[in-house]
Structure 1
């Protein structure tokens, strides 16, 4: 199921989050005035924006009943079983830009390249014992 809205998500339904281009486009827009102030800074922010734009177009988060899967196109590149999660948070809720989660042996940071409300709803349903 591809999700654009967090309503009507059942905890056992597999969910693929819809992409959100807000963060990469915001960085690209920020890079324009920065180029006038400092060329190298503006170029670096612009290149990072382009990188995130490509990632937004190619990466997908799939929530299953047991794990968070990250896909690049049709290929699953990582699986994160919920049973290994210790904590998660979405940083800066007014303008969500970063998703953090900690597993037993590692910490992960992902830019918010997906619908933040659907992400929050899926996390609350599938990892309710994990504190924010």
Structure 2
């Protein structure tokens, strides 16, 4: 009659050895008299295991890490200041100097701002920065606080107008709970601006700029 031997493996502690920052824990088994070794991640710690204690190893394999989105900085667009300066020139040429002066000044201001102001869309927020080196822009002169707003606080945003975007508007609750409205002239590439706003802040009621 064939004999079937059933044995229960018992975990027996053996001296621990450190291997490249990890500890090698020897676990003895009564099965065929062999000793099995496991590598446990126990850096700089010595732990002893009593006879009969269970060692539970939880593996995080298969858990995906959150992918960080790349930072997007839309290219500057000089069309609005050029149009304003051209319009001011036309008014001045026709001797309408009174309206030509403010239009020309606005065109010059936007031309200057286009060379220095940048919208920076990082992984979690939109921030206004200055210059090619993307320096801090300081506090908002109108409502206070840093010129940085998390996408999660955006209530709504719009781009006027899709074919020739002039203004971008958004409302956020980070500055104040009841919501703060912001308007910016579109002195950036309208298509890039629209695409990244949809991606980071959700869809808008208006359609995007056409190519």
Q: TM-score range by the shorter chain?
A: 0.7 to 0.9
- Distance apart, 1:24 and its partner CA: 0.5
Structure 1 residues 58 and 80, CA, compared in 2 at 3 Å: closer, same or farther? Answer: same
Count, aligned residues: 122
Structure 1 segment 70-109 matched on structure 2, within 5 A = 70-73=128-131, 74-77=134-137, 78-104=147-173, 105-109=179-183
Matched, 1:118 2:187: no
Q: Which has the higher contact order (CA 8 A, sep 6+)?
A: 1
- After TM superposition, the score normalised by the length of structure 1 is 0.86
Q: Which residue of 2 aligns with 1:30?
A: 87
Q: Could you list the runs of 5+ residues in structure 2 that have no partner in the other structure?
A: 1-66, 138-146, 174-178, 206-211
- Distance apart, 1:32 and its partner CA: 1.0
Which segments of structure 1 move beyond 3 Å, counting only runs of 4 or more? none
Q: Could you list the runs of 5+ residues in structure 1 that have no partner in the other structure?
A: 1-9
Q: Is the 8 A contact 1:82 1:126 kept in 2?
A: yes
- After TM superposition, the score normalised by the length of structure 2 is 0.55
Structure with the larger strand share: 1
Match of 2:119 among 37, 55, 61: 61
Q: Deviations over 1:63-106 (max 9, x none)?
A: 01110011012322211111111000101112110000011231
- Distance apart, 1:11 and its partner CA: 7.9
The structure having more radius of gyration, on CA atoms, is 2
Structure with the larger helix share: 1
